[in-house]
Structure 1
Amino acid sequence: MSSVVNSITDFYCAYKEWVSANPQKSADFETTAKWVSYFIAGRINNSSIVSELVYTLSNLLVLFNDRIIFNARRVGGHVPGEKLKIFLTVLEYTEVFIEISAKKLWGDKGKWALIVIVQLVKCISKLLLFFHYKEKITTAPSVPPLHRTEFVQKQVSELSRSIASTSAFSLKSGRVIRTVSSAPPLNARSWSPPLLPPNNNVEQFRQATSNIPMPTSVKVAEVMYLMKPLCYLGALFAYKDKPWRPWLLSLGLDLMSLKLNHSVRPSSMSPEEQKELSRRSIALVLYLLRSPYYEKVSAKPLHAVLNAMSNNLPLVGHICRPLIHYLPEWQRTYFYMWST
């Protein structure tokens, strides 16, 4: 038994070393796993569950490998709320699989019970991040995928900056002086002053804005956005025979939250805030594919456009016809409003 444990430990250590040393190769493997989930859809029995399982595992693999790469090149200690963010990200990646599995095992009642539990846990966790850990804005997913090439280059530049800052210093006059301990051998000296790398403006911006108090209106806007899934679920149960009311409630909360955020947040928003607010604005387009708007308004025009493209454009039919076939299933599975 101990030999098996040692073998697993050795394999895990070797895998971590390979991933941290080859971030791009691991990304190619992850992309292949995601394409496998698309290929499986509709080709085997219970394909929706199997394909969603493969897609979920591929997302979890991306998160796992990202953490390996991040921890291998981490500078500084842990970020406040980091473990809670990782837990939330795992839950966000697995919630669709949990939903369709619950429906398969326990029917609609089991599905709705799991949906309410998952969204309640997500809402409480995000409110905890916002109020206790002082998150400026909550993102989806809570731990965004790592841009590995940029991250590795950034860490290399920070390392060189750290080395340079210990080998030279700048006087008040602006003149750069090399320390005695870092001077090269006499025969290798160029007698030119060393160059200090430029400061990281992004980090300076974060440090300068980290202690700025958040306006009350922004807090209200963020709480509205975080409470939206539970408000929608409550309205869905209260107005079972009037599906437009929950749809309008969810859309109204999204619009009010965005309006408050854009009008009250400082003009010098951080890149993370700008990116997240842009994502939320673009996500409003998804209301065209959400029930009941999809069934009542957008389904027929969308199918007509896809049919026209598949019949009149060469090679496009190979993409549009499967899309027409799977669109109703994808609409029921992914385009819901209780997920942020």
Structure 2
Amino acid sequence: MTTSKPLPSKLPHALTLPPKWLSLYSNFIQTHQSSVTQIESALRSLTYIIPGRFRDAELASESLHSSIQLLSMYHDTLLTRALSKLPGMPGQQSPHNRYTKFWIAKSKFYRRVATVLAIVQYTELLWEMMAKRKGERTRWRVIILLEVIKATCRLLLLKITNARPLVTPALPEREVIPDEETNSPPPEDEEAALEAELEGRSPSPSQQNYKMKRTGLSLPTLPNPGDISSYLLSKVLTADDIKSPSTLLNTMPRTALLAETVHILQPLVYAIALSRSKSKSNWQPWLLSLSLEYAARQLRKDRDSLQTTALEREQWNKRGWAMGWLAMRGAFYENVTKGFLHSTSERLPGLISGVLDDYLYLWDGYYFSTSSN
């Protein structure tokens, strides 16, 4: 009786495959950044215009939308990691990205909390849709739980950054990774240079692309004579470019810290008040939310010891525009905006009216559909 030889174990080889695949995927994302970004935008736009998106297939389409957002966030992480390995000047990054990258590199806890906050923001409407199928009571419990998680994350970020204002988003935004094609002239310049050569004229300085013989590297093209000022200004470092990333936002005094805390807790207070209201047309929750946001902005103005930075002004402009979503929420929407939008939908062409009706169905029935936090 012959004994069969034990087969060689394939487990070690199988364990090496996932990291290898992830590495290949990461390299693909980095080398095809523009194509990946276009595909993400196309898929994200498709989820907005799918007929009946918020009716028959609302859960499936919102699942697709949330998945695209999460995948895009993962791609941002890969591209940020690749970009951090490239040599570059601070001025090539936005103040927001310099600030958030600083705290991600300094504190792993900041990165984890900011990631959790982003995941909740990308999936909150999906969780609400799933909870609504279990009943209104379950739906409001899930809404309040998600608002508690977001408020907790923001308070933790406030603590980690030593009482500095919150930035939106808390993670770095996507940046373009320069490649070899960046130094090559655009197609229109190549055509103009070819036409000049055929006509016996010398190409203009902006159309010339000098290539060094020994290294093979191409020098950047010269600007057009009329754009020299803007070209030089784009190369000048500003005061924020040479600042330390931690100083792009100043530490807040007590009054401003109280205002920031009120701003963080405002969505939670509004959700609790709205869940206890018996009617959507009740003005009390909406007025409470507006009062808290207004109080936060008024308290924030008392900053004699704090000099406003460019990044801080940018974030406060974002918050000012975000207050416009109050017109799509609560009693103001039910008593004012809703009637106007429904009457407008009746006068629009069929295709546009159908898309607007789908959004009206979303705004009528879901809390997070108009959330700006």
What TM-score do you get using the length of structure 2 for normalisation?
0.68
User: 1:318: how far off?
Assistant: 2.8
1:54 aligns with 2:64: yes
Cα deviation for residue 200 of structure 1 reads 6.4
Alpha-carbon shift at residue 239 of structure 1 (Å): 4.1
Q: Quote the residue 1:172 is aligned against.
A: none
Q: 1:272 aligns with which of 311, 314, 327?
A: 311
> Relative to 1, partners in 2 of residues 1:259 and 1:336: Cα closer, same or farther, differing over 3 Å?
farther
Residue 119 of structure 2: aligned partner: 90
Q: What are structure 2's unaligned runs of at least 5 residues?
A: 1-9, 86-101, 183-213, 215-234
Give the 3-state SS of the residue equivalent to 1:78 in structure 2. helix
Query: What whole-Å deviation, never above 9, does each CA across 1:241-284 have from its counterpart, x for those lacking one?
Result: 57311110101111222233345387853343222211211122
What's the TM-score once normalised by structure 1's chain length? 0.74
Counterpart secondary structure, 1:145: coil
Look up the match of 2:77.
67
Structure 1 unaligned segments of length 5 or more: list them. 157-184, 186-196, 312-316
Secondary structure, counterpart of 1:73 in structure 2: helix
In the superposition, relative to structure 1, how do residues 46 and 8 fare at CA in structure 2: closer, same or farther (>3 Å)? farther
Paired amino acid for 1:322: V
* Identical-residue share of aligned pairs (%): 23
Trace 1:102-141 onto structure 2 (pairs within 5 A).
102-104=131-133, 106-134=134-162, 136-141=164-169
1:333 is aligned to 366
> Any conservation in 2 of the 1:130–1:137 contact (CA below 8 Å)?
yes
Alignment RMSD: 3.2
Deviation at 1:133, TM superposition (A): 3.0
Residues 274 and 211 of structure 1: is their aligned pair in 2 closer, same or farther, counting only changes over 3 Å?
A: closer
Contact 2:117–2:150 under 8 Å retained in 1:
yes
The alignment covers a number of residue pairs equal to 290
* TM-fit CA distance, 1:134: 2.2
> Deviation of residue 16 (structure 1)?
0.3
Q: Given the alignment of the two structures, is residue 223 of structure 1 paired with residue 261 of structure 2, yes or no? A: yes
Pair 1:38 & 2:51 matched: no
Native 8 Å contact 1:218 1:264 kept in 2: yes
Alignment of 1:1-340 (within 5 A): 2=11, 3-42=13-52, 46-74=56-84, 78-80=105-107, 81-104=110-133, 106-134=134-162, 136-143=164-171, 145-146=173-174, 148-149=175-176, 152=178, 201-207=239-245, 209=247, 212-241=250-279, 243-264=282-303, 268-308=307-347, 310=348, 317-333=350-366, 340=373
1:126-165 per-residue CA deviation (whole Å, 9 max, x = no partner) reads 111102332622234332532x22x759xx9xxxxxxxxx
What SS class does the counterpart of residue 135 from structure 2 fall into? helix
Q: Compare relative contact order (CA 8 Å, sep 6+) and give the higher one, 1 or 2.
A: 2
Q: Conserved in 1, the CA contact under 8 Å of 2:114 and 2:170? A: yes
Aligned AA (2:252): M
